[in-house]
C-alpha cells in the first residue's frame, strides 16, 4: 500500500506509468538508479495507470525491472481525474512530494537523471 501515511516524513517520487511503454520503463530505471543513492533517503513508487485486471502481473513486472520500490495500481479516483493529483494526462509523469506530502514538481515524459536529482534536492530542502 502506498499512501500519504506510508510516505510522510520523506521526500517521495510517484511515477505514473504504464507497463507497456518504453518511456515509462526508462523513467523507472532512472528513478531506481537515483533513489538508491539519494541522501537523505527518499521514497518512490510506480503507479501503474492501467485496468485493475492487470494488477496480478505487477509483482512480475517489478521483479523483471529490478525496481527497489513498490509498484501498485492507480486508484479509481485518480484514474477518473478526481484524486489528489488531478488528471494524469501523459505517461510517464513524475510527481515529487516534499516531506509533508505537498507537490513540489511534476514532469511528463522522459527526463535526465540530473533533472530528477534536482527535483529531489529541491523537495528535500537539502543544499547540494
Sole residue written with cell 493529483: 85
3-state secondary structure at position 24: helix
CATH code of the domain covering residue 51:
3.40.30.10
In order along its 128 residues, the chain shows pLDDT tens digits of: 666 666 678 999 999 999 999 999 999 999 999 999 999 999 999 999 998 898 999 999 999 999 999 999 998 777 777 777 777 889 999 999 999 999 999 999 999 999 999 999 999 986 65
> What is the per-residue pLDDT for 3?
63
Contact 67, 88 (CB under 8 A): no
Closest CA to 65 of 89, 30, 94, 92: 30
Q: Is this structure's pTM higher than 0.75? A: yes
Q: Parallel, antiparallel, or unpaired for β 103-108 and 93-97?
A: antiparallel
Beta strands in 11-110 (DSSP E): 12-17, 43-48, 71-73, 93-97, 103-108
Task: Give the pLDDT of residue 77.
Answer: 73
Q: What is the pLDDT at residue 56?
A: 94
Q: How many folded domains does the chain comprise?
A: 1
Q: 58-65 vs 22-35: helix axis angle to the nearest 10?
A: 60
Residue spans of alpha helices (H) in 51-112: 58-65, 76-79
Domain range for residue 97?
Answer: 4-124
Amino acid at each position: 500500500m502506498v499512501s500519504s501515511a506510508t510516505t510522510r516524513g520523506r521526500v517521495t517520487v510517484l511515477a505514473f506509468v504504464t507497463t507497456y511503454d518504453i518511456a515509462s520503463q526508462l523513467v523507472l530505471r532512472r528513478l531506481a538508479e537515483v533513489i538508491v543513492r539519494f541522501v537523505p533517503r527518499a521514497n518512490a513508487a510506480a503507479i501503474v495507470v492501467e485496468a485493475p485486471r492487470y494488477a496480478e502481473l505487477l509483482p512480475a513486472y517489478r521483479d523483471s525491472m529490478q525496481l527497489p520500490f513498490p509498484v501498485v495500481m492507480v486508484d479509481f479516483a485518480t484514474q477518473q481525474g478526481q484524486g489528489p493529483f488531478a488528471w494524469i494526462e501523459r505517461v510517464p509523469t513524475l510527481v515529487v512530494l516534499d516531506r509533508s506530502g505537498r507537490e513540489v514538481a511534476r514532469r511528463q515524459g522522459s527526463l535526465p537523471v540530473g533533472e530528477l536529482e534536482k527535483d529531489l534536492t529541491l523537495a528535500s530542502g537539502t543544499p547540494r
